[in-house]
Structure 1
Amino acid sequence: MKILIIGGKGTIGNKVVSHFSKGDEVLMAGRSSGDISVDISQSASIESMFQKIGKLDAIVCIAGEAKWDDFDQLSEEDYYIGIRSKLMGQVNLTRIGQQYLNPGGSITLSTGVLADDPVVKTASAAMVNGAIHSFVQAAALELQNGIRLNVVSLGLVIDAYEKYKDYFPGHTPISMEKAVNAYIKSIKGKENGKVIRVYG
């Protein structure tokens, strides 16, 4: 398979890239690193990336940002950071990317536990994650040519536990193996329109 992974240099992305690189052709894209550059908050950048790459069998996004802050401190513009990047970035990757997939290809987006189990300072991030879940379930009903669309929603991963544990009191971190397996399920399996949750 020819797989494009956006965000392949991140904590989760590098493990996903490492797995699929063993048996598939993997291309990495990122804002400042990878085989090709892309800013997912800009539709023109997404279109340019796909034009350069050509046909693919799978598109995976493990990227996108959202502002974390106290609810009373979040401005309207702060919310738009997550809307433009993590939400519309992944919507546009799906909207544009479907045209570059071979028949039977797949698109895998990424969210996280905040959609279902938010913590303080995550009003914006949780909102965006929940919106992506609803988008995937609806858009998957209309994709053509056997193209599948899923979203992987992970809990706090063990490799990020020390950095983020104070934000997630009482959350049990998940292994990187479980995290990678969620992406394998989406890319290599037959799931469609699913929120693939791995929270514990």
Structure 2
Amino acid sequence: MKILLIGATGLLGKAISKELEGKHDIIRAARHNADVKVDITKPHRIKEMFEQVGKVDAVISATGNAHFGPLEEITPELNEITIESKLKGQINLVLLGMSHVNDGGSFTLTTGVIMDEPIYQGASSAMANGAVKAFVKSAATEAPRGIRLNSVSPTVFQESPEKLREFFPGFEPVPLSKVALAFRKSVEGVQTGKSYEIY
């Protein structure tokens, strides 16, 4: 398969790439140091990426910025960071990329555990994660040409910096290799409208 992996240079993206490379033709996209440059907060950049890449069999999003901070300090402007990237950025990959995915292809987006298990300072990110999950579930029922849509919702990674893991007290971290398998299952499998929860 020809797979477009967005966010390929990040911790998660590298793990997904490692799991899929050798089996598939991976086109890596990111803001910097990738085969293709893209900023998912800008729809015209998403369009340019798809035009440059051409037809693909699968699109994976392992990206999306989100604001973290105490609820009483979140302003509409700070919340907009999450909306523009984690939420709209990922959804626009589907809306703008549908015609670039081959029949029977797939989209896999990324959410996260805090949509189900809240953490302190995570309200903005949880909002976007839950919205992406709902979009995938609904859009999968309307996707044309046998195209499948799924999302992967990981918990905190074992490989995450210790400072980040401290925000998840009592959560059991999972290895990135296990999370990457869920993306492989989404791409190579048959399910659609599924949220693969790796908790």
For 1:16-165, list aligned pairs within 5 A: 16-160=16-160, 162-165=162-165
State the TM-score, normalized to the length of structure 1.
0.97
What is the aligned length? Answer: 199
| In structure 2, C-alpha distance between the alignment counterparts of 1:144 and 1:24, rounded to whole Å | 23
Larger displacement relative to structure 2 (173-182 or 126-135): 173-182
Give the AA of the match of 2:147.
Answer: I
Q: Which runs of 4+ in 1 moved over 2 A?
A: none
Question: What code does the residue aligned with 2:170 have?
Answer: G
Verify: 1:196 aligned to 2:186, yes or no. no
Q: CA deviation at 1:177?
A: 2.2
Q: Distance in 1 between matches of 2:54 and 2:9?
A: 22
Question: How many angstroms apart in 2 are the aligned matches of 1:163 and 1:180?
Answer: 22
8 A Cα contact 1:161 1:173, kept in partner: no
Contact 1:39 1:46 (C-alpha < 8 Å) held by counterparts: yes
Distance 2:80 2:10 in 1: 23
TM-score normalized by the length of structure 2: 0.98
Counterpart CA distance in 2 for 1:37 and 1:198 is 29
Unaligned runs of 5+ in 1: none
The Cα shift of 1:33 comes to 2.4
- Cα distance in 1, alignment partners of residues 178 and 152 from structure 2: 11
* 1:66/1:86 contact within 8 Å kept: yes
Amino acid aligned to 1:196: Y
Letter in 2 for 1:10: G
SS in 2 for 1:46: helix
**1:161 deviation in Å?**
5.2
| 1:121-147 C-alpha deviation (Å, 9 max, x unpaired) | 011001110111111001111110000
Task: In structure 2, list runs of 5 or more residues that go unmatched.
Answer: none
Structure 2 residue matching 1:8: 3-state secondary structure: coil
Inter-partner Cα distance in structure 2 for 1:163 and 1:105? 38
8 Å Cα contact 2:19-2:181 kept in structure 1: no
For residue 59 of structure 2, give the secondary structure of its aligned residue in structure 1: strand
**CA-to-aligned-CA distance 1:2-59 (integer Å, 9 cap, x gap):** 0000011111110111121111100010112210100101110000100011000000
8 Å contact from structure 1 (residues 136, 149) kept in 2: yes
Identity %, equivalent residues: 39
Two-structure CA RMSD over aligned residues (Å): 0.8
CA contact (8 A) 2:19 2:177 kept: no
- Give the counterpart letter for 1:163 in structure 2: K
